[in-house]
Structure 1
């Protein structure tokens, strides 16, 4: 099975084997699917769950064990349509749900369904359209943070643009997204790094290009967000693409 990484503005897809991801918290929703068998997921304070798929909300501390198994990991930005639909459908009363994928649909044509993001054909339940909307100020804030380096906005920059104090921005951002402002800012910065390295093919150079002080700073941030080191994902990719 090919090791793939496809990055889009509102979602990303990894297919391969990343072994064990130590406890970490994403800045986006993640849908994990065991392609060759079951995976093991543990949320903080909960028992280990053996499952074929797991949908985990943003900012939820968890570990993943997929040793000897090929997996697909789909990351959805919290302001994307699919991210909002998945939250509305599955995560209104819980931080994670398990085995929401039709296992009988995992076959030779499955890769194309994931690449084309044909979720409706693999989910056990139809998606529900979101009923809530982000505050326009928070939507604008996320758009600013999602811009690629070299324009890295500080919290004060954005607070001033929106006419809010830093504390008020923090409160609104957490209330609307479930994420701390700094955590989402770091997530967006790492997303910028992943797009940049597609061109440079060099971790240290892309780390510097996207505002990290050095490769160690980048690696620490990556482990915090993904539970693994960058090379675990980036090494020996058979298919790496970035779509604007």
Structure 2
């Protein structure tokens, strides 16, 4: 069982096949066990729980050991990601309280039995509803402009350069870099790479092969995509895609 789901700029997996080596990335990651508890290493610490959020840029490793799990990779610039960051603050992880675990696990166990696409969508909405984001502060207008440009991503060489965005924002490269990191918590260069990886997977979800997806997303080669993916997910792109069913939830 391996469902891969795209929800806006966030990616979700329902799988019993995750074998992720030690890695870190600029995404928040959520793990939820379908049975009993999760054993996960976060920043060198062994943690046992039913559900956990792992903060951005935090080393962790995780294996499903053949048991079904839910995991979500959340872009921290999205409203959902920003709501999650409130729980994390500057801590490497956040363990969900028991009462939330029970509700999420019960819903998760039901979709594992039914395996209905509508039920999966409903479950994802149940997860998202745990993180209200109605009172979030807005990003600086110049940061929003960069994020909006990246939402309209069409690969061309200049689009990967900080200089391109600094001109659009009417700021020097150093000032834009400082502002973007201050507002989002992520270096702009790293975020551009992250969006390239997101774009590559979106193309793969739409039926492109890895080579075409890599080049269309702006990677120098399929091996460049493979290296970036391994560094950021702890897994090979091939192992993620193999025997997977792709769904899209808006």
Q: What TM-score does the superposition give when structure 1 sets the normalisation length? A: 0.86
> What residue in structure 1 maps to residue 191 of structure 2?
184
Aligned residue number for residue 151 of structure 2: 146
Structure 1: tracts of 5 or more residues without a match:
none
Residue 81 of structure 1, CA deviation: 2.1
Work out the CA distance in 2 between the residues paired with 1:165 and 1:81. Answer: 27
Residue 91 (str. 1) matches residue 96 (str. 2)? no
Structure 2 distance, partners of 1:69, 1:63, is: 16
> Deviation per CA, 1:9-53, whole angstroms, max 9, x where unpaired?
232221113433122223322211112343222222x41112221
Listed as ranges, the gaps of 5+ residues in structure 2 are none
Of 32-41 and 221-230, more deviation after overlay is shown by: 32-41
The structure that is helix-richer by fraction is: 2
**Is residue 169 of structure 1 aligned with residue 176 of structure 2?**
yes
Distance apart, 1:130 and its partner CA: 4.1
Q: 3-state DSSP class of the match of 1:102? A: helix
CA offset digits 1:50-100 (Å, max 9, x no partner): 222111222222222322222111122223222222222x11242311244
Deviation at 1:185, TM superposition (A): 0.9
C-alpha deviations, 1:128-181, integer Å up to 9, x for none?
644432111112212223333324341100001101111111111111111111
Task: For 1:130 and 1:184, locate their aligned partners in 2 and report how far apart those are by CA, in whole Å.
Answer: 24
- Write the deviation string for residues 113-136 of structure 1: whole angstroms up to 9, x where unpaired: 65332236985xx64644432111
Equivalent in the alignment of 1:7: 6
Partner of 2:74: 76
Separation in 1, partners of 2:237, 2:146: 27
CA contact (8 A) 1:17 1:70 kept: yes
> Is 1:118 aligned to residue 116 of structure 2?
no
What is the DSSP-based 3-state SS (H/G/I as helix, E as strand, rest coil) of the residue aligned with 1:48?
strand
The answer to whether 1:240 aligns with 2:246 is: yes
| CA RMSD after TM alignment | 2.5
Tell me the secondary structure at the aligned position of residue 213 of structure 1. coil
